Structure 1
Amino acid sequence: MVTAPGAPAGPEAGVGGGTGSRGGAGQALGRALRAVPVPLALIAMIGLAGAVLGRVYAGPLLTRLVLGAAVGSVLVSVASRRLPSWLVAPISVTAMAGWTALSLRLAATRAELPGGLADITADAAANGIPRLLTAMIPVEPTPDTVLVPLVAAWLAGLAGAEVALRAGRVLLGYLPAALLYAAALYVVGPNADPAIGTTLAFVAVAAVGLAVPAAGPVTAAGDPSAGLAPAVRAAVRARLAAASAAGLAVVVALAALLGPALAGRVDGRPVDPRRYVEPPQVEALDESPLIRISGWALNPGQKLLDVRADGPAEPAPTGTPEPAPDADAGPDADGRPTPIRLAVLSDYDGVTWRVGATYRNAGRILPATAPAPDSSVRTVRQEITIADLTGRLLPAVATPREVTGARVAYDPTTGTLIRPEGLTPGLRYTVTSAAETPDTTLLSTADVPAGDEVARVLRVADGVPDPLRRLATQLAESNGASYARAAAVEQFLAEHYRLVADAPSGHAYPNLNFFLFGPRNAGGQRGTSEQFAAAFAVLGRLAGLPTRVVVGFRSTGDGPVRAGDAYAWPEVLFDGLGWVPFDPLPRPDEEPRPVEEDFRPTPEEPPPSEVPQPTVEPTQPPEPEAAPGGPADPGGPSTALLVGGGTGGTLLLVVAALLVLLLMRRSQTRARLERGDPGQRIAGAWREVTDALRLAGRPVGGDLAATEIAAQAHRALADATAAHPSAGRDARIDELAGLINQVAFAPGTATEEQADRAAATATAYVTGLRAARPRWRRLLWSVRPGPLRWHR
């Protein structure tokens, strides 16, 4: 049989061809198997980043969406490997837009957010990062809290796949996924347990992705020394071994150097990035809604909101006692009134009761807090429609657990809500609340808590009028138990004062002093619920009771809530019972008794002793009377000359006194900032700051910590410079507070450099605060004698 030259002969040809075909298929399968681990490793690493971030989210939705983004981005790059590299990015971004739109729609549906997809996407894109960093934990997966993680995960998958698969740089391709994982750890911060297991899994997946493609038999095609002379081959292999050994040594050295430091960070508390982002704030109108009571009282018919019960309320257990009269508004399922709460005011500086809450963006489901052990809980569900109510504070029965129809921010400490975008007429939302009713049978024996946890609601600002302090002392001395003291304050206010609608607004110390002790014929001893609630809270704190003021509305059930339904009431914190409302308002059918029957604002002075005065006998003859012809010539200087000389002398004395005060003040400042050891100079700089606050009308209490005084100093300068933008600001008061703490708790450790910084900080702050004062106050700043005599 004749065969063509070069053609394989019969059987051998068939056998050889089959063997070659099977070998090619095996090699192709091997290459495919070796190409799979890297994409799978990228998907797993990005998915683990989503799992780490998902620990602060409510439910698994975010983790699933991030995993979907990882799968989609990597598979798009794998499928587009044969296309030009410049086409991959547009294709992948188009796929990302589709997946993002689907995810946002799913998140909006889960959160029951109204509006179209375009509006939801635009709002999420504009507010995604700040809302993510200010959201309450656990974070509800809403469009604005999932958009940033989704886009970041997709872009990490795209970049990693292109570098690792197209360029063949696997280790460099892992960098985007590693950065995403580190960002997730940073965002979570101290708000979850350490992700040790997830981190080990991340490292293991990365190691498998690096090792598996290089596994398999070494062929001649894969040997870099193949085809070389034996001597050259040996030299190449020796260099490769040396390079591998050097790389291994570097890895081991880095592990030995960085391992202990990394291990020590496992139990450390990470930095919370939320501290760098300002949470949603209330407007100036809402900072102290207590001052709005008098305005609402003058327009009682103004419709503020509409309330409709959305389904029956869950009844309280049988035998639950009645709440304090008039402490609530609006009946629940048992016919008992339930108030609609607007704001809780916990901070008082002697001038204004303020909200002082820290609001965090929240989703539909609000984090639950444990109820007081000795209180019963019932569920109240209401649909509320805003009418003429303005501001950001969102009315709701305490304590809200679920809100639909409005985006809210929530403060779990006070259980109050705000709408960061502000209230608008027609806004309708549904709120489900867990209303607590304390067991009032336990009040007579209940005690009030003490310590740092309640220091905020026990703090009394400086400048308390003496009659207020003496009245609180009298009521406390007559009643030893905590509830008895609170009831005594409540009864005293209800029996001696009149509730009117036309009383002027104001609850500073002078206003309360006039309300309690002013003459009735001049408008004293009468006020709105603003003065009653504020007076109760101040007297309660002076008597050792943790108190706060609540502003809200009475509601008779379904129907409108008008301005006349707005009122304020005080609350006292009891162990085991939580915050218990009190009602210091007088009964409509009772005439108030005079305050003097039970308390005298001015202490009685003892009558003077009747001692007869001795008679003094004249020792000189009487002066002769002037002749009737006219006044005698005194023979001295004229009256005009005497008046002019006296006036000029007085002016000279005043100018001399001012110059002496100026020199003494400057000498005091130099002595504080320049003389003594570093600790004394730092203490002197701190005295300069506190004296400046007192000169500016913002004195600090002796019970405040240095950090609290620094925060008050920042607020004082910010308030002062709001009307004078040209005045300077200095942000190093916090550093000065740290230095004064160092001096107090570690004497002798301060350095001259620290003392110089403290002096410069104090000088800059005082200069900035003084520059923000009116011109005539700046002139008097340096000559006021107060800092020379104020007790340290």
Structure 2
Amino acid sequence: MVRFLKTLAVPVALVVMIGLAGAVLGRVYAGPLLGQLVLGAAVGAVGVSLATRRAPSWLVAPLSVLALLGYTGFTLWFTARRADLPGGLPDVAADAVRNGIPRLLTALIPIEPTPDTVIVPVVAAWLAGLAAAEVGIRAARVLLGLAAPVGLYAGALYVVGPNAESTPWLTVAFAGAAALALATGGRPDRRDPANAADAGAGLTPAVRAALRLRTAASTAVGLVVVVGLAAVVAPVVARQVGATPVDPRRYVEPPQVESLDENPLIRISGWALHPEQTLLEVRTTGAPPPDEPPPTEPAAGDGEEEPPEDGEPADEESPADAAEQSRAVRIRLAVLSDYDGVTWRVGGTYRNAGRVLPATEQVPEPATVDRIEQEITIRELSGRLLPAVPTPREVTGSRVAYEQASGTLIRPEGLTEGLRYTVSSEREHPDYNLLPAANVPFGDAVARFLRVEPGAPEQVQRLADQLAEENGAPYDRAIAIETYLAEHYRVVADAPSGHAYPNLAFFLFGPPNGGGQRGTSEQFAAAYAVLGRMMGLPTRVVVGFNSPTGTGPVHGADALAWPEVLFEGLGWVAFNPLPLPNTRPRPVEDEFKPEPEDPTPPPEETTPPPEATPEASAEAVAPPGGGSGPGVPVLVGGGTGGLLLVLTGLALVVVGMRRAQRRRRLADGPPAQRIAGAWRELTDALRLAGRPVPEHLAATEVAAHARSSLREPGQPLPPGPEAGSEPSGGVGAGPSTGGLRPAVPGVDDLAELVNLAAFAPAVATDEQARRAAELALAYAAELRAKRSWWRRMVWSLHPGPLRWRD
């Protein structure tokens, strides 16, 4: 019995040591499955070696490898089925063999046991067991045989690194198992153990004394070596006890997003220009949205809403529209946290993840949480970013990488049309009644969300300061930005992409008739986030989609960007700076407009002339009778002629300069510049007619203003395109006859050309520039013809267009 126990002691010790290595590595895995699989590999490897002890040594390794292939195949099949991964076993096995090591070192902790994260530990454990059993049991070299389990244990400690708490008891147990193997192992006795008492019966006393001396000497030498090694190694080991282990994950690059996915905000304008493009299809199940959505929930995606005409009330939202909006589901694509003054970036680190995802790093206090499940099918959406309702907790049907700080997903292999996956998310609904009294965090943890890069336009900073003057609480400041943007700016689908500092300054303060003060949700969200950071609010920009019903196709028109603000105890709260549908934006107040870059200096002070006395006046009017000089008739005639000559010369100069200005505007430069010059001719004509154009009007609104300026007092408005009249573009040749009014020049066509030149200057052609010049001159001629004769004369000689802004 004792002999049988000694025979089993070494194999059991080897299995325990390899199992403990699996327990050490399992601390960074989710659940105990990895430890169980490693222990099974240890039992299998050592068991095969024990079962084939009497077989030739050359046969053991092939048999053990065959058993390893079978056990590994079972492990891959079981973990793939458990993780619900798509594909057959050959595909899963090939992917696991190809990507096992990098995915193990880049996986999100806790690592889920999947084929690619368990294949390396299982194979390593089996090979360690095979080597230890063959060397320690068959060759009876126990100390040398322990090298493989020790190496496996050290490798497990290195892979875990600083990502798990220290567990000294595992190391103590490992050392105990090694000591048991050394104590019970060794070469088999050549003599029968039953006669062990007589082992030294045939030896002479001299031989026995020599053996005792040899044993004592070797023991002493071994003791000295052990004590010396302890003295040398102990300080080094002691210094490492409190040190942070090296993390091997720092040497392996995690999955990266493409440049297109690093800033998906620039894709908003492209999606808006193709509103019918089907990006993905969604089928939502689970808890419905709350009856009262948060007040900051965006109402719609990008798309230009025509404002009502003056005096026409805005359409009120119908109960059906409100009900449909309450069923809308927000699908998040990416979270952009870093801004360098040029572009917003994701700036996150994605780690390979399994089916179950951990919670985000910033979790609000206990709040209402509903579970929502979506089956998403990718259609024309490209890149690697994987859309999902925030916050995803479980993903099946696709391998994903996860960014824990923001709760966003990517598919490392990239999106392909037809990809179908299911994502289960938990939507948190904090108590929004706490917002008015909530504070915002500060410090290093949120520094990236407060960073404002140098180079911000002065007028943007001034706008932020003025909005913050009367709003002290963080929530009041957040609402102030939201209200200001929603009331003063317009959403259009064809606005060019861009959210650098100059783009935002043009969006906030640019002239409406030149493309300013309008944009897609890209500009609204980016401007909100920058203004918020200038006011001390931690902000970020989110890109995603607004699914109208939560089920069905999601088109390009549903793409949306919105800002979020971080509040203590409530987490990230979304705000909606987009204007309500069917509302006309208010003009930007003068105090929010930028000051001119080169302001006109005030006139210099001059010394007033001395007051003329009556005597001096009399002398000046009536020279002394005896004085010489020309008489009064000569002075009057010569002075009048000279004055007329000077005035005539000035008039000719003004006329010549006006014509040169018109020629420069309409004939010089690229087509887009000439179209803009034609527009200046039209606005100058309106100003000369006493009908100046307000600065806040858009081009189409200026066209309506120009049509109304042709109306005589008491005369109805000339027909325009909106009234269903004939196409504009002709110029009346004289008074109307037969009850007909002259046609209105094509100011609407000119407005369209101006918008084209502003948003797509490279597209404008020479023919369009010539057409714009004809329309502007035709309108100015008709507007001038309606003036009286003396006003027409003043019109031609007025120097105003020469000094007005060109």
**TM-score, with structure 1 as normaliser:** 0.71
Distance 1:73 1:352, change over 3 A: same
Unpaired stretches in structure 2, ≥5 consecutive residues: 302-320, 610-806
Alignment-mate amino acid for residue 179 of structure 2: A
Alignment-mate amino acid for residue 13 of structure 2: A
Q: 1:449 aligns with which of 438, 441, 457?
A: 441
Quote how far apart the aligned CAs of 1:252 are: 2.7
Q: 1:149 aligns with which of 87, 104, 121?
A: 121
Single out whichever of 142-151 and 247-256 deviates more from structure 2: 247-256
Quote how far apart the aligned CAs of 1:375 are: 3.7
Alpha-carbon distance in 1 for matches of 2:323, 2:117 = 36
- DSSP-derived class of the 2:565 partner: strand
Deviations 1:18-75 (A, max 9, x none): xxxxxxxxxxx54433211111111110001011111111111111111110000001
Q: 2:233 aligns with which of 246, 251, 258?
A: 258
Asked if residue 287 in structure 1 is aligned to residue 262 in structure 2, the reply is yes
Partner of 1:339: 330
Asked if residue 111 in structure 1 is aligned to residue 83 in structure 2, the reply is yes
8 Å contact from structure 2 (residues 293, 326) kept in 1: no
Q: 1:578 aligns with which of 571, 578, 591?
A: 571
Alignment-mate amino acid for residue 546 of structure 1: P
Quote how far apart the aligned CAs of 1:219 are: 7.7
Distance 1:223 1:75, change over 3 A: farther
- DSSP-derived class of the 2:547 partner: coil
Alpha-carbon distance in 1 for matches of 2:486, 2:25 = 54
Partner of 2:589: 596
**TM-score, with structure 2 as normaliser:** 0.69
Distance 1:576 1:333, change over 3 A: farther
Unpaired stretches in structure 1, ≥5 consecutive residues: 1-28, 616-792
8 Å contact from structure 1 (residues 186, 273) kept in 2: yes
Alpha-carbon distance in 2 for matches of 1:75, 1:537 = 64
Greater relative CO, 1 or 2 (CA 8 Å, sep 6+): 2
Asked if residue 301 in structure 1 is aligned to residue 311 in structure 2, the reply is no
Quote how far apart the aligned CAs of 1:236 are: 2.4
Structural RMSD (CA): 2.5
Q: 1:587 aligns with which of 573, 577, 580?
A: 580
Quote how far apart the aligned CAs of 1:613 are: 6.4
Alignment-mate amino acid for residue 116 of structure 2: D
Alpha-carbon distance in 2 for matches of 1:542, 1:141 = 45
Alignment-mate amino acid for residue 17 of structure 2: M
Distance 1:222 1:584, change over 3 A: farther
Partner of 2:287: 313
Single out whichever of 258-267 and 339-348 deviates more from structure 2: 258-267
Aligned pairs for 1:735-750 (under 5 A) are none
Quote how far apart the aligned CAs of 1:373 are: 1.2
Alpha-carbon distance in 1 for matches of 2:297, 2:174 = 60
8 Å contact from structure 2 (residues 289, 326) kept in 1: no
Alpha-carbon distance in 2 for matches of 1:331, 1:38 = 74
8 Å contact from structure 2 (residues 490, 517) kept in 1: yes
Alpha-carbon distance in 2 for matches of 1:48, 1:360 = 27
8 Å contact from structure 1 (residues 331, 337) kept in 2: no
Q: 2:102 aligns with which of 130, 137, 146?
A: 130
Q: 2:214 aligns with which of 233, 239, 243?
A: 239
Partner of 2:554: 561
Quote how far apart the aligned CAs of 1:268 are: 2.4
Partner of 2:530: 538
Alpha-carbon distance in 2 for matches of 1:66, 1:357 = 33
Distance 1:222 1:210, change over 3 A: farther
Alpha-carbon distance in 2 for matches of 1:314, 1:155 = 53
- DSSP-derived class of the 1:595 partner: coil
Q: 1:430 aligns with which of 422, 426, 429?
A: 422
Question: Aligned pair count?
Answer: 584
- DSSP-derived class of the 1:551 partner: strand
Quote how far apart the aligned CAs of 1:143 are: 0.3
Q: 2:224 aligns with which of 249, 270, 277?
A: 249
Q: 1:174 aligns with which of 143, 146, 154?
A: 146
Distance 1:332 1:451, change over 3 A: farther
8 Å contact from structure 2 (residues 288, 327) kept in 1: no
Alpha-carbon distance in 2 for matches of 1:186, 1:222 = 48
8 Å contact from structure 2 (residues 13, 177) kept in 1: yes
8 Å contact from structure 1 (residues 313, 333) kept in 2: no
Asked if residue 497 in structure 1 is aligned to residue 489 in structure 2, the reply is yes
8 Å contact from structure 1 (residues 323, 437) kept in 2: no
- DSSP-derived class of the 1:554 partner: strand
Alignment-mate amino acid for residue 445 of structure 2: E
Alpha-carbon distance in 1 for matches of 2:325, 2:560 = 23
Alpha-carbon distance in 2 for matches of 1:460, 1:488 = 19
8 Å contact from structure 1 (residues 571, 581) kept in 2: yes
Alpha-carbon distance in 2 for matches of 1:566, 1:190 = 41
Partner of 1:99: 71
8 Å contact from structure 1 (residues 321, 441) kept in 2: no
Partner of 2:304: none
Quote how far apart the aligned CAs of 1:212 are: 2.6
Alignment-mate amino acid for residue 252 of structure 1: V
Q: 1:469 aligns with which of 461, 474, 477?
A: 461
Quote how far apart the aligned CAs of 1:229 are: 2.7
8 Å contact from structure 1 (residues 512, 535) kept in 2: yes
- DSSP-derived class of the 2:494 partner: coil
Quote how far apart the aligned CAs of 1:218 are: 8.0
Quote how far apart the aligned CAs of 1:211 are: 1.1
Alpha-carbon distance in 2 for matches of 1:249, 1:325 = 76
Alpha-carbon distance in 1 for matches of 2:112, 2:421 = 18
Alpha-carbon distance in 2 for matches of 1:235, 1:218 = 23
Alpha-carbon distance in 2 for matches of 1:36, 1:341 = 58
Alpha-carbon distance in 2 for matches of 1:333, 1:34 = 77
Alpha-carbon distance in 1 for matches of 2:592, 2:206 = 112
Distance 1:35 1:332, change over 3 A: farther
Partner of 2:376: 384
Quote how far apart the aligned CAs of 1:276 are: 0.7
Single out whichever of 423-432 and 246-255 deviates more from structure 2: 246-255
Distance 1:499 1:377, change over 3 A: same
